[in-house]
Amino acid sequence: MNPTFIELADVTLRYGGGTLALDHTDLRVGEGDFVALVGPSGCGKSTILKLTAGLLRPSSGAVIVGGREAGAPAAAADARLHDPHAPRVRIGLAFQNPTMLPWLTIRENVMIPLKIVQPFRADFARKKRGEYAERAEALLAQVGLKGFGDKRPWQLSGGMLQRASLCRALVHEPQLLLLDEPFGALDQFTREELWAIMQDLWIAKRPTVLLVTHDLRESAYLANRICVMSARPGRILEDRAVPFARPRTLEGSYAPEIATLVQELRMRIAHARSDGDARAADDRRAA
């Protein structure tokens, strides 16, 4: 594996209401790797993404991203875990239902990270009509949205908005891309088209990617590793390498070896679900 870029070490996360989402969970992701998280609904996949983004702090254990404790201000971080001199990691985020600011054009929406994230922020006022606008336009062209930069979000279809949201996730050249079912709401053709675009973008820039998905063929097409989680509280049950050569083709995603992998993953998740149901029934009886 490449040098570790994300590490969840013995992480437990209990939400305020009492739900135990993760229980002593470990996960390592190498720099430049593409890892998919799959598992039963509610097992804690999005929770791992939020912890990695620093939007949540673990109840116990540690989440280290690029040498820094995720979400911790430098002064408050645990110096045993954390390199206070490590630069802040640039993160790109894309979710299932992209939120675009309706009063901005698509190009302006795509440029939002450049307005917020350093080092781009310092030059935003000077470059927003030049270099940054060109960067946004180039990405829009790459995802098939050439000529749509001046449109408003309500003038685009759901699939087009999702393409634009991928551009927004990538415009500040993030080292880490966190994707939470970004293709989940799309029709199959658009979804597969975006898989291909996603793969091209990953091959070109090699960010580290953590993808949450329910679509097992998507995980097999896109990821280098697939981590199967148990039912809640989630732990990594199985860590599968996806050895297929790149660039992968959509036709290839129907090949027998991918079908076999998908079927094995499906069985593993079905078992994880029934184990989870049995545990929940035991807990109810004990209560």
Ligand X SMILES: Nc1ncnc2c1ncn2[C@@H]1O[C@H](COP(=O)(O)OP(=O)(O)OP(=O)(O)O)[C@@H](O)[C@H]1O
How many residues belong to the site for ligand X (CB under 6 A)? 12
| Residue that has been written with the tokens 């929406």 in this structure | 109
Find the shortest distance in angstroms from Cβ 75 to ligand X.
27
Find the shortest distance in angstroms from Cβ 36 to ligand X.
13
Q: Judged by CB under 6 A, which stretch of 16-24, 137-145, 187-195, 276-284 contacts ligand X?
A: 16-24
Find the shortest distance in angstroms from Cβ 69 to ligand X.
20
**Which one of 30, 32, 42, 67 is in contact with ligand X (CB under 6 A)?**
42
- DSSP class of 168: H
Q: Judged by CB under 6 A, which stretch of 4-12, 35-43, 80-88, 155-163 contacts ligand X?
A: 35-43
Find the shortest distance in angstroms from Cβ 43 to ligand X.
4
- Which of 143, 145, 147, 154 has the alpha carbon at shortest distance from 104? 154
Task: State the number of CA atoms in the 13 A half-sphere of 212 facing the CB.
Answer: 22
Rounded Cα gap, residues 95 and 112, in angstroms? 16
Give the nearer residue to ligand X in terms of CB position, either 40 or 149: 40
Residue 232 engages ligand X in binding (rule: CB under 6 A): yes
Chain centre to alpha carbon of residue 228 = 15
Residue 219 engages ligand X in binding (rule: CB under 6 A): no
Strand-strand pairing, 176-180 and 236-241 = unpaired
Strand-strand pairing, 20-30 and 4-14 = antiparallel
Find the shortest distance in angstroms from Cβ 57 to ligand X.
13
Q: Judged by CB under 6 A, which stretch of 4-12, 41-49, 59-67, 248-256 contacts ligand X?
A: 41-49
| Long-range interactions of 95-100: CB distance < 8 A, separation 24+ | 95/165, 95/180, 95/181, 95/182, 96/180, 96/181, 96/182, 96/184, 96/185, 97/185, 98/161, 98/162, 98/164, 98/165, 98/168, 100/153, 100/161, 100/164, 100/165
Type of residue found at 287: A
**Which one of 6, 8, 21, 166 is in contact with ligand X (CB under 6 A)?**
21
**Which one of 1, 2, 19, 158 is in contact with ligand X (CB under 6 A)?**
19
Residue 41 engages ligand X in binding (rule: CB under 6 A): yes
**Strand ranges (DSSP E) for 54-114?**
60-65, 68-69, 91-95
Residue 184 engages ligand X in binding (rule: CB under 6 A): no
Q: Judged by CB under 6 A, which stretch of 15-23, 67-75, 136-144, 217-225 contacts ligand X?
A: 15-23
Rounded Cα gap, residues 221 and 194, in angstroms? 11
Token code pair at residue 128? 């927003």
Give the nearer residue to ligand X in terms of CB position, either 42 or 67: 42
Find the shortest distance in angstroms from Cβ 20 to ligand X.
8
Residue 17 engages ligand X in binding (rule: CB under 6 A): yes
**Which one of 44, 92, 159, 276 is in contact with ligand X (CB under 6 A)?**
44
* Residues contacting residue 242 through CB under 8 Å, at least 6 positions apart: 219, 220, 223, 224, 225, 226, 261
Residue 189 engages ligand X in binding (rule: CB under 6 A): no
Find the shortest distance in angstroms from Cβ 180 to ligand X.
7
Find the shortest distance in angstroms from Cβ 281 to ligand X.
16
> Contact positions toward ligand X, by CB under 6 A?
15, 17, 19, 21, 41-47, 232
